[in-house]
């Protein structure tokens, strides 16, 4: 099964082009270490939350935008070996300076528990980070499958839910702090792929009006979930 390294960061809007160039330059190196895909998504519809949100997750400044991105590996072992090599590889210096504050970036390793739909290019995504009680894993998967059936019925092309596996504590920011996770909770990194933003907006409107959605239980605290809409800027 594939393994996901998921990232969230705050990038100055003025550095958007520089960020894309930086990521484009980095992918051949990740590929050499075994990565099969790298996807970068630029914040487009990032709401403010009452308890948690993407901006607070990475302490974003008013002039910064949120990126939601991931690197796919064929398995955890390949990812672990890649990270170990990166820590000691002089080639990392050739990547140049990062056009954002890496100290506020959050990252972790996730194991997909759901991957349904057609894989390939997409026009828009919804990204989310969710705190789920560890004992509710099976209930979460069952609930997510019911939700995914509706999302796909109303236009979503693919949905991925990945369960936190290697989620480190950070000095400034981390995934646990992003959603105010309690010690007994795990982090879920999830995204929904849509053909376009228009399809996403219409799809969600239909989903939220459907009584089946209201009947689907949420085995987690939805008030602490963070979510937003993102436009893809790189898919390699």
Domains and CATH numbers, the chain: 3-235 (3.30.70.100)
Average pLDDT, the chain: 96
Q: How far apart are CA 148 and CA 168, in angstroms?
A: 29
Whole-model pTM? 0.96
Angle, helices 197-209 vs 137-153, to 10°: value is 110
| pLDDT tens figures, 74-99 | 999 999 999 999 888 877 766 668 99
| pLDDT tens figures, 108-147 | 999 999 999 988 899 999 999 999 999 999 999 999 999 9
Answer positive or negative: Cα dihedral of 125, 5, 38, 52.
positive
């Amino acid at each position: 099964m594939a393994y996901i390294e998921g990232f969230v960061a705050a990038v100055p809007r003025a550095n958007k082009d520089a960020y894309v160039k930086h990521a484009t330059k980095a992918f051949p190196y990740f590929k050499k270490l075994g990565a099969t895909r790298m996807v970068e998504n630029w914040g487009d519809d990032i709401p403010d939350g009452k308890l948690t949100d993407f901006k607070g997750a990475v302490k974003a400044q008013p002039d910064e935008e949120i990126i939601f991105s991931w690197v796919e590996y064929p398995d955890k072992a390949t990812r672990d070996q890649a990270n170990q090599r990166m820590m000691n590889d002089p080639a990392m210096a050739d990547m140049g300076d990062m056009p954002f504050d890496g100290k506020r970036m959050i990252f972790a390793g996730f194991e997909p528990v759901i991957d349904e739909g057609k894989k390939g290019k997409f026009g828009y995504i919804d990204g989310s980070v969710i705190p789920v009680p560890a004992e509710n894993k099976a209930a979460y998967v069952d609930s997510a499958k019911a939700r995914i059936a509706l999302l796909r019925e109303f236009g979503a092309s693919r949905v991925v839910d990945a369960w936190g596996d290697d989620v480190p504590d950070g000095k400034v920011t981390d995934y646990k702090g992003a959603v105010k996770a309690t010690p007994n909770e795990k982090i879920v990194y999830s995204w929904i792929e849509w053909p376009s933003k228009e399809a996403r907006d219409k799809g969600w409107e239909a989903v939220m009006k459907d009584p089946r959605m209201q009947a689907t239980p949420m085995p987690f605290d939805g008030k602490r979930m963070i979510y937003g809409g993102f436009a893809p800027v790189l898919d390699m």
